Structure 1
Amino acid sequence: MVDPSVRGLAAAVFALMALVGLSALAVPPAAAQELQPLTIVTDDGEHHFQVELAATEEDRSRGLMYRRSMPADHGMLFDFERIRPVSMWMRNTYIPLDMLFIDADGTIVRIAQDTEPLSERSIRSGQPVLSVLELNGGTARRLGIAAGDRVEHPLFAR
């Protein structure tokens, strides 16, 4: 038979572990990060989004990993701090994404549409870029966003 004081302590520890575990599951990675407005200007008009900025190596490495969903008007903007060739992947990323590769003046130079969730295949920029914008898969096609369109965000006003 287990001593009642030990049983009570074990129950308290288990309850605390369950509470911590559940709260960790309820908060997606980078949930505390402030959203910033971003606009994509196309021939058909403007499309407005709220984005998280991935400006540190840690943020860029984590990206949208482990997320199971993202609101339709949200995204993540990766700031690579300098113009360079970029390679992305979908490791531990559960939702399909459109990756918009953007040069220093905010011009979209390439779009990788509907990238494959959980894939470790490299998705290359094709030329040096300053940034990548990740949106829900199919967004570029649905809104008619194409290479040559312009992204408006303070990152491109340097």
Structure 2
Amino acid sequence: MGFRAAAVCMMLLAWTGMAAAFQPDPPEMGTAQTLPLAPLTVETRKGRVALQVQVADTDTTRQTGLMYRTSMPEREGMLFIFPHVHPVAFWMKNTILPLDIIFVDAAGRIMNIAAGTTPFSLRPITSDGPTKAVLELNAGASARLGIGVGDRVVFEPLVRLP
């Protein structure tokens, strides 16, 4: 009887620990990264949209992304560049700002947009296909700037990558 009770307690402790592992950390637990800004253009149906982006092109910068950021100017964002083209998924853990997450294929075309994502959500946000880059903007920016599926992202270092 004592062994069974101990086993149940251990299971409850393990389950509680696992549940805690999936909870968002409070914002004060981390530090926002700041990367240099680079120009990026989106060719839309209505014309060109000029943006400034921070480029996350290493494992570390891609993993941190816009976590812990409390504000971002309207025409700024972050561009995640992947070394290989493949389907990707993002989440909003430790991300305070609601974002538009824009998935870009190897040709620079926007495949899909997850508009107005929920801060701190652990729900996977997936690309509609093999992805070369992801552009994150403030929530609603893609609609306000006229950026849509099929538009082309022009970023010189992205064009040169295999």
TM-score by length of 2: 0.78
Assess if the C-alpha contact under 8 Å between 2:81 and 2:158 holds in 1: no
1:148 equivalent in structure 2:
150
Unaligned stretches of 5+ in structure 1?
1-24
Once superposed, what is the RMSD of the aligned Cα atoms? 1.2
Q: Report the Cα offset of residue 156 of structure 1.
A: 3.0
Q: Report the Cα offset of residue 105 of structure 1.
A: 1.4
- Amino acid of the residue matched to residue 50 of structure 1? Q
Q: 1:109 aligns with which of 105, 108, 111?
A: 111
Assess if the C-alpha contact under 8 Å between 1:105 and 1:156 holds in 2: no
Assess if the C-alpha contact under 8 Å between 1:49 and 1:75 holds in 2: yes
2:20 equivalent in structure 1:
none
When Rg is computed on C-alpha atoms for both structures, the one with the higher figure is 1
Q: 1:118 aligns with which of 117, 120, 135?
A: 120
Task: Give the distance between the partners of 1:83 and 1:92, measured in 2 at CA.
Answer: 26
Which aligned runs of 4 or more in structure 1 are off by greater than 3 angstroms? none
TM-score by length of 1: 0.80
1:19 equivalent in structure 2:
none
Unaligned stretches of 5+ in structure 2?
1-27
Task: Give the distance between the partners of 1:35 and 1:60, measured in 2 at CA.
Answer: 15
1:22 equivalent in structure 2:
none
Residue by residue over 1:99-135, the C-alpha shift from the partner in whole angstroms, topping out at 9 and shown as x without a partner, is 1100111110110000001101000002111010000
Q: Percent identity?
A: 47
- Amino acid of the residue matched to residue 99 of structure 1? I
Task: Give the distance between the partners of 1:85 and 1:47, measured in 2 at CA.
Answer: 26
Task: Give the distance between the partners of 1:48 and 1:36, measured in 2 at CA.
Answer: 11
